[in-house]
Amino acid sequence: MRRAVFPGSFDPITLGHYDIIERGLTLFDEVIIAIGINADKKYMFSLEERKQFIKESFKNESKIKVMTYKGLTVEFCKQQNAQFILRGLRNPADFEFEKAIAHTNRKMSEIETVFLLTSSGKSYISSSIVRDVIRNGGDVSGLVPDTVLVK
């Protein structure tokens, strides 16, 4: 079974994330959406809200699991018997940042990182931009799945 972990904070999940996950489903038998827990980070949405947004977004997809983890992503992958880490790239800066992480992960384990380019119509979307729009009372309907709009 080809199993991939798609790690992130998903604060909140965006249509960019959604795009990568949907396309990842065509490549892997199972995609684990892994919400990383970082005690030092301030989140706009609680862990439970973030999990619920994702679960509702993919409630009809049997190839998706939503889990949380602490610590190194490669260690979580090993625990889940995942051979791949799935990552999305929006721009060259993402590539440079993600490349360094992928090399480090590869040095620490046999886990491969698979990069997918975000679809062109979604490459500008980021969780930090979405949070800023929310904080300022803007409309995020074109930036996030409908499950986040219930908030």
Residues with active-site annotation: 17, 41, 90, 127
Q: State the CB neighbour count (10 A cutoff) for residue 139.
A: 9
Q: State the CB neighbour count (10 A cutoff) for residue 28.
A: 20
In DSSP notation, 94-143 reads: HHHHHHHHHHHHHHHSSPEEEEEEPPGGGTT--HHHHHHHHHTT---TTT
Measured distance CA(70)–CA(76) in Å, rounded: 8
Sequence length of the chain is 151
In contact, 143 and 41? CB cutoff 8 Å: no
